[in-house]
Structures are given as structure tokens and as C-alpha cells.
Amino acid sequence: MILKGTVTALVTPFKDGLVDHGSLRKLVEFQISSGVQGLLACGCTGEPATLSHDEKLTVIQTVLDSSAGRVPVIAGTGTNATASTVSFTETVCGTGVDAVLIITPYYNKPTAQGQLAHYTAVADNSRKPVIIYNVPGRTGTNMSVETIARLGEHPNIIGVKDAAGSIERVTQLRSISAMAYMSGDDHLCLPQVLMGGSGVVSVTSNVAPSLVSRMIQSGLNGEVVQARELHEILFPLFKALFIETNPSPAKKALQLMGVISSDMPREPLVPLMEENVHILRKVLEQMELV
């Protein structure tokens, strides 16, 4: 698959403590009809740490069935153990996903050599293309650009989702690797694209898929003025959707918009505090999203 444009890191809707597949199907349709280029199921925004093995598979299958081949579907299959990541990735590859997203092992904090060993083992055994996911804010480890580039030499590793909060890493990686660089930081995704990035794996596109897609496409096309105008429209939403831990704000926004039935995350996450709901609602109203 070609890793480019806007990929939405889907929330996983819940209702009465269970996965709300009806809301998930509605969310998928909203995304595709709004022009995103791909969907990510069970990424960090999808709360995979609180999903059982079977729940992850049902979420992935619902996204696949709902998208019906209209856009590529990526599944998050990473864990903090190499053996379980290899095993779960093998299972998920049998569902028909287009690629898998593998998070850097969390809590263990592996060295660069450990990261190389982990990703190589997964890529060697995966029947689908592998995307590296570097997110130091959740894993406690920031992969070096050099390590990412080395992994990019593997024929089954097609790109990286980088949430390291740095624009300069795009230029650094571009200078030593041709692999796709997908931003994992919504507020930085446009400058990263303008510096040579391939697109974004976005939280904000759950809520404003058309605007994010148009901004990224404008950036990729070199339409800087138009892209900047869209970035300025989106910037308050970028901030509001991270006013508390993701995905609680995104879920509240989608509920207010009528896309999903409940804003409930799974504990230990909790719904957005009421004072922050007011802030989020005001931004959504200003953008005419509610």
C-alpha cells in the first residue's frame, strides 16, 4: 500500500461497557465520505490497552467490513513483548488488513538494538507491510532517526508514524531514508508535510476529517497559502482535542456531533471534565461542527 495523506486513528466507541459496533460503523462511514485516505483501527486512540484480544479482532473486522475496500485499513497490533506482537500480528494479517502499525515496546524501554530486534522479528513474520510507531509520550522511549532509517531498509517496513513532537526529524530522516514519514502530532502535521512528510495519522480527523484531509492534500500539492488557512482554522481544535488525555476529548466531540452514541472511554480513562466540555463545545460551535 502507499502510505500517504490523511489516515484517521479511529476512536473505539463504547456503550454500556461494550464496543458499540453501530457507532463504529457510523464513524467509518463519516470518515470515508469526508475524504480520508485510510483508517487505523486499534491505534492508541482506539484504547487497545483496555481491549481484550477478541474485542480487538471484532473492532478490526467491523472497520474492514464497513470500509468494504474503499480505503486502506491499518491495524495496531503492537504489544510490549516481541513474541505476542508477532503472534497477534499473524492473526490480524488473516483478517484482510492492508498494513499493521507496531508501537515501540512500552514500559520495557528497549535500547536501539532491542528496537531493531523487535521490529525485525515482526517484519520478518508479518504477511502485511509494517509501519513503525514512535510515540515517546506513551512508551517512555524515543527512537532515534538513525534506528528508524535502519529499519526502513527492511523490505516489509514501509514507513513510520512519528509522534516525537519535532519538525527537524523529518529533514533528518529524509536525508538518509526514502521511507514514508507520517506525522503523529496533529498540531505539527502541516509543517512536517511541508518539510517532506507523507501525511498524518490523525486524532483530529475523527472530528473534522474533511478539513484535515484538505489541509494535508494542499500541503502535499505545495498549495501553501491554502494549507496554512486550513491549519489556522483547525488549530483551536488541535488544542481542544488534547485538553485532557486522548481520546476522551475526541469522544466527547463525536458524541456532541451525533456521530457516536456515548463519550465513555474505558477506565482508567474517564469522560471529559465538565469545564473542559464547555471549552470543547465552544470550539466546535465556532467551527460549525455542532
> Mind listing the pLDDT tens digit for each residue in 252-282?
999 999 999 999 999 999 999 999 999 999 9
Of 56, 128, 161, 251, the active-site residue reads: 161
Residue 263 lies in a domain: no
Residue 288 lies in a domain: no
Residue 243 lies in a domain: no
> Mind listing the pLDDT tens digit for each residue in 13-68?
999 999 999 999 999 999 999 999 999 999 999 999 999 999 999 999 999 999 99
CATH number, domain with residue 69 = 3.20.20.70
> Mind listing the pLDDT tens digit for each residue in 105-149?
999 999 999 999 999 999 999 999 999 999 999 999 999 999 999
Q: Which domain holds residue 179?
A: 5-223
Of 106, 133, 251, 252, the active-site residue reads: 133
Helices (H), 15-144: 21-33, 53-67, 82-93, 112-125, 136-139
Query: Is 133 designated active site?
Result: yes
Residue 144 lies in a domain: yes
- % of the chain with per-residue pLDDT over 70: 100
Asked if 248 and 269 count as a contact pair (C-beta separation under 8 A), the reply is yes
Asked if 188 and 27 count as a contact pair (C-beta separation under 8 A), the reply is no
> Torsions phi, psi of 239, nearest 5?
-70, -45
Grid cell at residue 203: 486524532
Burial class from Cβ neighbours inside 10 Å (0-12, 13-18, 19+) for residue 58 reads middle
Instruction: With a cut of 90, say whether residue 243 has pLDDT above it.
Output: yes
Sequence-ordered list of residues with C-beta below 8 angstroms from that of 251, at least 6 positions apart, any chain = 11, 13, 260, 262, 263, 264, 265, 271, 272
Residue 38 lies in a domain: yes
The pTM assigned to this predicted structure is 0.97
The secondary structure of the chain in percent helix, strand, coil, rounded to multiples of 5, reads 50, 15, 35
Instruction: With a cut of 90, say whether residue 222 has pLDDT above it.
Output: yes
Residue 66 lies in a domain: yes
DSSP secondary structure letters along 236-256: HHHHHTTSSSTTHHHHHHHHH
Instruction: With a cut of 90, say whether residue 176 has pLDDT above it.
Output: yes
Query: Is 161 designated active site?
Result: yes
Max CA pair span of the chain: 49
Residue 85 lies in a domain: yes
The CA distance from 170 to 197, in Å, is 6
The number of domains in the chain is 1
The CA distance from 180 to 111, in Å, is 23
Residue 169 lies in a domain: yes
* Parallel, antiparallel or unpaired: strands 5-9 and 199-202: parallel
pLDDT at position 247: 98
The CA distance from 285 to 35, in Å, is 22
Query: Residue 41: which H helix or E strand, with range?
Result: strand 38-41
> Mind listing the pLDDT tens digit for each residue in 91-112?
999 999 999 999 999 999 999 9
Alpha-carbon Rg of the chain, whole angstroms? 18
The CA distance from 82 to 121, in Å, is 7
> Torsions phi, psi of 155, nearest 5?
-65, -15
Instruction: With a cut of 90, say whether residue 1 has pLDDT above it.
Output: no
